[in-house]
A = this chain, B = another copy of it.
Amino acid sequence: MEATLSRKEQIEITATSLFKKKGFSATSMRDLANALGIEAASIYSHIKSKEEILQRVCFRMADEFFEALDTAEGSESTATDCLKAAIAAHVQVLTKNTAASAVFLHEWRHLSEPHLSTYLALRDKYEARFREIIRSGIEKGEFFLADEKFAVLTILSGLNWIHTWYKPEGKMTPEEIAENLSAMLLNGLTSSQELTIPDTLTQSN
């Protein structure tokens, strides 16, 4: 599997993992070089700057989130099913690469302009898609709430902790995680639509 990775891809993957663990600012190019087994100066034959790595990770992840959402929104009729599909799509992307997800969610503020503004605009566009799903659900009488923006941010925030503990070898599949989250967020704790989920989760931290 690793044999087919270019040096540039290896650098990106290793950097992403370090950025997740220590944060972008606290990760030095010498840390990265050390993890790769080369000298710091050698990294610059493959990338232009430390920030370029961050940019590539952030915007690649943004692409993936939009692509997953496009597919999810395509075929659903009710707002409820559409939201469930959007949640499942979001969880799929988060679990597919937890390190890149963590960097996307937490390290974007170290982007310089104009990349920072681009990033924030993309994020707002993504949230707007969710807002529209909620709004249409309210209109159709499927959802009951006063404020779409508030609801969307609560939902996304309720999904975006998954990267902290998810491991592919854990007991829950991404599909099961998505179902569980949809059930909690759509029906709440007090609804009796219980789910059958293994009660042992992969430990966080």
Query: What's the interface size class on A, roughly?
Result: 35 or more
Q: Are B146 and A195 in contact (CB under 8 A)?
A: yes
**In the complex, A53 has a CB within 8 A of chain B:** no
Q: Are B201 and A149 in contact (CB under 8 A)?
A: yes
Q: Are B161 and A154 in contact (CB under 8 A)?
A: yes
Measured CB to CB, the nearest residue on chain B to A106 is B106
Interchain CA distance A25-B147 in the complex, whole Å: 36
In the complex, identify which listed stretch (A40-48, A69-77, A179-187) lies at the interface while the others stay far away. Answer: A179-187
Of B106, B134, B158, the residue contacting A158 (CB under 8 A) is B158
**Residue with the greatest number of chain B CB neighbours at <10 A, chosen from A109, A150, A190, A195:** A190
Copies per assembly: 2
The A95-125 residues at the B interface (CB cut-off 8 A) are 106, 109-110, 120
Interchain CA distance A137-B192 in the complex, whole Å: 12
The A122-157 residues at the B interface (CB cut-off 8 A) are 134, 137, 142-147, 149-151, 153-157
Q: A161-B154, A186-B189, A189-B186 are in contact. Are A110 and B195 (CB under 8 A)?
A: no
Of B80, B106, B165, B189, the residue contacting A185 (CB under 8 A) is B189
Measured CB to CB, the nearest residue on chain B to A180 is B150
Q: Are A194 and B110 in contact (CB under 8 A)?
A: no
Interchain CA distance A195-B192 in the complex, whole Å: 22
Q: Mark A164-205, 1 if CB is under 8 A from B, else 0.
A: 010000000000000011011111111111111101010011
Interface set of A (CB-CB < 8 Å, partner B) = 22-23, 25-26, 80, 83, 106, 109-110, 120, 134, 137, 142-147, 149-151, 153-161, 165, 180-181, 183-197, 199, 201, 204-205
Task: Offer 12 A-B interface pairs, CB within 8 angstroms, sorted by A.
Answer: A23-B109, A23-B110, A120-B205, A143-B189, A144-B191, A145-B195, A146-B180, A146-B194, A146-B195, A156-B161, A184-B188, A187-B188
